[in-house]
Amino acid sequence: MPARSLLLTTLAAALVVTWVAAQGRPASIPRFEPDPLVKLVWFVRQPLVNSLALFELRDRFNTNAAFWVAAGGFGTLLSPGFWFGARNASQKVRWLFCLLCLPFVAHAVSLAASSQAVGYRTVFPLSGLVLVLVVFALRSVVVAGRIRLPLQHGAFAVLLLVAAVDAQRNAYTLIAEPQNREWELIQAAAQRLRLDADTDVYIIRPGIDDRSTERVFDDEFGSLSSDADWASKEMFKAAMRERFPDTLPKGTAYSIETGPLPPASPGAYDTVIDLRKLRQEGDRTLASATGEATTASRR
């Protein structure tokens, strides 16, 4: 397949994926962007830079130097595509079109919407475009005879290795481990719960300041699952199903309430699960942390 056809096919597929994802979350895209200039500044400062960094995540609160090095490095790698890949005026115009216009096409859905989401779901088409242009630029240097083919293969191997290591680290330390900590707190509380005919459970949901990871990015990376009312309830129900695979003991039942703050009357509940103690877990270093998993009995 010609490189141009492959690029267009990749962009079309990415736009379809983005559109489908947007349909699944209609509340996050309520209307068209009313201020195009503000959106353009946001696009350059957030999605475009995030996509240029490719495999390095941008921390929501404290972006490290590695992110800016990655963004600058991959951005610099695009220039050989113009100098060595475009051999005549027509090809140079096409390359500039790919470099300056296609990013807006790749991010068209998010640019048109009023929301300013920078999660990996929304920057996937833009990151795919950057990756295609980087590979093309490296290949152009080889075709021009500036570097030998083995060196190109080595560069691609390093690129793949860095991507694999980053993917493993980010998925494990920012998704698997934090969500496991949330699950363990709820699971432990469910295992200790003493059931009766009318067991009341209250879950104090954590906020972003209660997260267990120092780093946090949009979507699942370093963020919380149990901060949502429905998620914390479903997690507790899953823990109870794990404890009682068939059905609850005869004559027993439970109900769940959640909130971001402790209940006004803790004694009105059989168990109060304080998930804010997540801040005491993981790699966060705090001088003091509040929030303990407590159990209050009405008996």
Q: For residue 285, what pLDDT band results from cuts at 50, 70 and 90? A: low
Q: Are 185 and 130 within one domain?
A: no
Retrieve residue 60's tokens. Answer: 């929501």
Residue bearing the bigger pLDDT, 298 or 193: 193
Q: Residue 80's domain spans which residues?
A: 3-147
Q: Does residue 298 sit within a domain?
A: no
- When pLDDT is averaged across residues 219-226 and rounded to a whole number, the result is 83
What pLDDT score does 296 carry?
A: 38
Of 107, 130, 147, at which residue does a domain stop? Answer: 147
Q: For residue 3, what pLDDT band results from cuts at 50, 70 and 90? A: low
Q: For residue 2, what pLDDT band results from cuts at 50, 70 and 90? A: low
Q: Does residue 21 sit within a domain?
A: yes
Q: For residue 121, what pLDDT band results from cuts at 50, 70 and 90? A: confident
- When pLDDT is averaged across residues 203-217 and rounded to a whole number, the result is 92
Q: For residue 109, what pLDDT band results from cuts at 50, 70 and 90? A: confident
Most confident of 20-29, 67-76, 120-129: 67-76
- What pTM, to 2 d.p., does this model score? 0.74
Q: Are 136 and 10 within one domain?
A: yes
Of 102, 131, 147, at which residue does a domain stop? Answer: 147
What pLDDT score does 183 carry?
A: 96
Does the pLDDT of residue 160 top 60, yes or no? yes
Q: Are 113 and 227 within one domain?
A: no
Q: For residue 9, what pLDDT band results from cuts at 50, 70 and 90? A: low
Q: Are 209 and 259 within one domain?
A: yes
What pLDDT score does 116 carry?
A: 83
Q: Is 229 exposed, middle or buried (0-12, 13-18, 19+ CB in 10 A)?
A: middle
3-state class (DSSP) for residue 9:
helix
Q: Are 19 and 130 within one domain?
A: yes
- Helix (H), strand (E) at residue 259: strand 254-259
Q: Does residue 239 sit within a domain?
A: yes
Q: Are 185 and 237 within one domain?
A: yes
Q: Are 136 and 12 within one domain?
A: yes
For residues 297 and 51, what is the distance between their CA atoms, to the nearest angstrom? Answer: 52
Q: Are 73 and 121 within one domain?
A: yes
Q: Does residue 37 sit within a domain?
A: yes
Lowest mean pLDDT among 35-49, 145-159, 277-291: 277-291
- When pLDDT is averaged across residues 83-93 and rounded to a whole number, the result is 87
- When pLDDT is averaged across residues 180-209 and rounded to a whole number, the result is 96
Q: Does residue 161 sit within a domain?
A: no
Q: Are 13 and 51 within one domain?
A: yes
* Residue 253 dihedral angles phi and psi, to the nearest 5°: -160, 160
Domains in the chain: how many in total?
2
Q: Are 135 and 243 within one domain?
A: no
Lowest mean pLDDT among 13-17, 19-23, 167-171: 19-23
For residues 190 and 295, what is the distance between their CA atoms, to the nearest angstrom? Answer: 11
What pLDDT score does 63 carry?
A: 87
Residue bearing the bigger pLDDT, 196 or 5: 196
| Mean pLDDT (the chain, rounded) | 84
What pLDDT score does 23 carry?
A: 47
Q: Does residue 168 sit within a domain?
A: no
- Residue 253 neighbours by CB distance under 10 Å: 11
For residues 147 and 80, what is the distance between their CA atoms, to the nearest angstrom? Answer: 12
- When pLDDT is averaged across residues 55-83 and rounded to a whole number, the result is 90
Q: Are 109 and 240 within one domain?
A: no
For residues 104 and 43, what is the distance between their CA atoms, to the nearest angstrom? Answer: 9
What pLDDT score does 128 carry?
A: 92
Does the pLDDT of residue 70 top 90, yes or no? yes
